[in-house]
Amino acid sequence: MSDIDHAGPDFSGSGPVEFRPAEAAPHGQAAQVLAQEEARLLAIPGVTSVGIGFGPPGQQALLVGVVDAGVAAHIPPEIGGVPVVVSITGPVDALRPR
């Protein structure tokens, strides 16, 4: 069966979507754990980033970027009851201002 037979909803004329950053702001237990653990996580050699996102369906999680799988092996799967999602980003080099 092709997609033409069952095209689904047409969103082409849906118009702009309002951005509401207050609704997207991190809150709750994940934000508390991030505030307490961010410096410790970033001090681990090979950790490139730390933030809040989504992990298991319906749950906020700490997102940790690392340079390789060796570093990922040292990151716990959960911190303070909050799941941790590790992504291998490779090295991150910031550009110097001109």
Q: Does residue 94 sit within a domain?
A: no
Q: Does residue 40 sit within a domain?
A: yes
CB distance 61 to 83 below 8 Å: yes
Q: Does residue 2 sit within a domain?
A: no
Q: Which residues make Cβ contacts (< 8 Å) with residue 71, sequence separation at least 6? A: 44, 45, 46, 47
Query: How many independent structural domains does the chain possess?
Result: 1
pLDDT in tens, 27-41: 689 999 999 999 999
Q: Does residue 18 sit within a domain?
A: no
Residue 25 has pLDDT above 90, yes or no: no
Range of the domain at 77: 27-88
Share the mean pLDDT of the chain: 83
Q: Does residue 33 sit within a domain?
A: yes
- Enter the pTM of the model: 0.69
Task: Kindly report the number of other CB atoms within 10 A of residue 42's CB atom.
Answer: 12
Q: Does residue 13 sit within a domain?
A: no
Q: Does residue 93 sit within a domain?
A: no
Which two structure tokens, joined as six digits, stand for 55? Answer: 């992990």
